């Protein structure tokens, strides 16, 4: 870090008192934050946009930097490059929103992209407004049974390893949360979408999260079902997969729990409450009809009106304790090196 950057850090540290700290409800053994800077769109902080704060962060940093984002709606695309690790991005709850309307190809369209390792976000909502705004307009102009053309519109895309999210919101319709690669942890988050809205090749645990499936279809087509997950495990030796522990699944749109994105797709719902909007079949083979024996789709200890598995697809797995334990254990599945507690404690 340059001398000028060090001087700036000392100045900005003095302003950190204006970011109110609250006691963490997640974990207490954590790394020390070296400096806090404040983003306020109205001009009372150190920066007025989130990207300005990211751009300021030193490259190849090895100390945690807290970026506190004041309440407000920040309409911008934000990207954290690979050479800017150790960032804690902290909002002020539901009133802190980062949004944009990128769409089409998943690359370059996400509202928020994390390319760096070692990232933490807490109490921020990430939103892609494109499909939502488009459907509102369609409802006003189109025939009631017209099928909408929904486009990929990611709210968040995660390429880095060791990323964790606490009490965050993720809102879009298609490809909402692009959990692309690496080990990730989500706690007490809200995730909303309609089509493949949690997808990718990530190795992730979602704990105490609210998964809300919204309808993307109006009129006589409203009964069509969406898909919560589209996980892309590539082989039997691939360690990736999505595990949902103690979650709530509901919404105003019918949905499958998942469809295969690659031939060894792996998704587990464990001790979660499944709403009546989950279709009886539960799972969909996607483009891999005939290869279903390679999937690992399982529901263990779930409850609620959508948990009746009497009409589930015949190829849904029933895992024994030896098979299940390493998948639902946070330590064994994603955290053998203790990276989660080594991160700063989120507020």
Percent of the chain with pLDDT over 70: 84
Work out the pLDDT band at 186, boundaries 50, 70, 90: very high
Q: Rounded to an integer, what distance in angstroms lies between the CA atom of residue 255 and that of residue 214?
A: 9
Catalytic residue set: 175, 196
282 contacts 312 by C-beta, under 8 angstroms: yes
Among candidate residues 332, 182, 122, 337, the one with its CA nearest the CA of residue 245? 332
Q: What does the pLDDT read at residue 221?
A: 52
Q: Name the average pLDDT for the chain.
A: 88
Every domain of the chain and the residues it spans: 124-336
Work out the pLDDT band at 148, boundaries 50, 70, 90: low
Distances (CA, A) of 88 to 33, 69, 194, 328: 8, 11, 29, 26
User: Tens digits of per-residue pLDDT, 292-317?
Assistant: 999 999 999 999 999 999 999 999 99
Work out the pLDDT band at 107, boundaries 50, 70, 90: confident
Mean pLDDT, residues 59-75 taken together: 96
pTM of the model: 0.89
Statement: residue 140 has pLDDT above 70: no
User: Tens digits of per-residue pLDDT, 332-343?
Assistant: 999 999 999 999
Q: 77-91, 130-144, 183-197: lowest mean pLDDT where? A: 130-144
Q: What does the pLDDT read at residue 8?
A: 45
Among candidate residues 164, 158, 179, the one with its CA nearest the CA of residue 258? 179
Distance, C-alpha 150 to centroid of its chain: 20
Residue 338 is encoded by which pair of tokens? 């203790």
256 contacts 182 by C-beta, under 8 angstroms: no
| Pairing status of strand 210-213 against strand 72-75 | unpaired
Residue 78 is encoded by which pair of tokens? 């934000």
CATH superfamily of 124-336: Single-stranded right-handed beta-helix, Pectin lyase-like (2.160.20.10)
Q: Rounded to an integer, what distance in angstroms lies between the CA atom of residue 217 and that of residue 293?
A: 31
Residue 184 is encoded by which pair of tokens? 């990730």
């Amino acid at each position: 870090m340059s001398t000028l950057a060090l001087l700036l850090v000392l100045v900005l540290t003095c302003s950190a008192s204006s970011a109110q700290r609250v006691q963490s409800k997640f974990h207490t053994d954590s790394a020390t934050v070296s400096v806090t800077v404040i983003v306020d769109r109205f001009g009372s902080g150190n920066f007025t946009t989130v990207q300005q704060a990211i751009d300021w962060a030193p490259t190849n940093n090895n100390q945690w930097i807290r970026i506190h984002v004041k309440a407000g709606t920040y309409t911008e695309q934000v990207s954290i490059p690979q050479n800017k690790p150790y960032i804690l991005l902290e909002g002020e709850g539901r009133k802190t929103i980062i949004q944009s309307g990128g769409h089409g190809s998943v690359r370059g369209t996400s509202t928020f992209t994390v390319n760096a390792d070692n990232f933490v976000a807490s109490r921020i909502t990430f939103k892609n407004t494109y499909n939502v705004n488009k459907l509102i307009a369609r409802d006003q102009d189109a025939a009631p049974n017209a099928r909408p053309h929904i486009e990929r519109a990611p709210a968040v895309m995660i390429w880095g390893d060791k990323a964790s999210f606490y009490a965050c919101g993720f809102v879009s319709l298609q490809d909402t949360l692009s959990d692309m690669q690496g080990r990730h942890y989500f706690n007490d988050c809200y995730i909303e979408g309609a089509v493949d809205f949690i997808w990718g090749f990530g190795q992730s645990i979602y704990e105490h999260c609210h998964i809300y499936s919204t309808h993307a279809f109006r009129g006589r087509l409203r009964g069509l079902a969406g898909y919560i997950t589209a996980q892309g495990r590539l082989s039997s030796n691939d360690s990736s997969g999505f595990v949902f522990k103690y979650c709530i699944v509901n919404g105003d749109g019918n949905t499958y729990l998942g469809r295969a994105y690659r031939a060894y797709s792996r998704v587990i719902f464990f001790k979660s409450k499944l709403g009546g909007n989950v279709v009886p079949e539960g799972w969909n083979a996607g483009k891999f009809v005939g290869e279903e024996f390679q999937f690992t789709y399982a529901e263990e200890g779930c409850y609620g009106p959508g948990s009746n598995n009497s009409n589930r697809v015949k190829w849904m797995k029933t895992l024994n304790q030896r098979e299940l334990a390493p998948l639902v254990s946070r330590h064994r599945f994603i955290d053998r090196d203790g990276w989660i507690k080594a991160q700063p404690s989120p507020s």
